[in-house]
Structure 1
């Protein structure tokens, strides 16, 4: 699914279900240092990706993803958005 489609679906669903008290928030993650990711990448590829992320110049860690999920759960004002959690990986150099 394209990022535009995720954006549109998130906004549309948030509008459609707001009256039922249901919120829609999407997370667009970057690359996270998990056992599955590391098992499919050699260390050279990990270093290449880490250099692509300008700040903090590393892959994400699962605890950072979990912290965002907790924030979304507790912040009931947050609705109809896509949050990028990618260390600005999509930011042009």
Structure 2
């Protein structure tokens, strides 16, 4: 592999890792909000407003979208790693 291909592969791996962390953060925050925390105290919290979801169906939609993007990045990584074999 050329050094540029290796850099692209590492970049894709870092985005992949970031998306996995984002999935875990959103899921953990929503589970905490639903089952542990008092809902009235979390509504006024502006720190995590971008990952707040009002109901379970929106949580599923957000997680599914991120999982699809993550799977696409994993497939792209596999293609970049095996591009020499495909030629």
Whether the TM-score (by the shorter chain) exceeds 0.5 is no
Q: In which range does the TM-score fall when normalised by the shorter chain?
A: 0.3 to 0.5
TM-score (norm 2): 0.40
Per the normalisation by structure 1, the TM-score is 0.38
Ranked by relative contact order (alpha carbons within 8 Å, sequence separation 6 or more), the top structure is 2
Greater fraction strand: 1
Q: Which has the larger radius of gyration?
A: 2
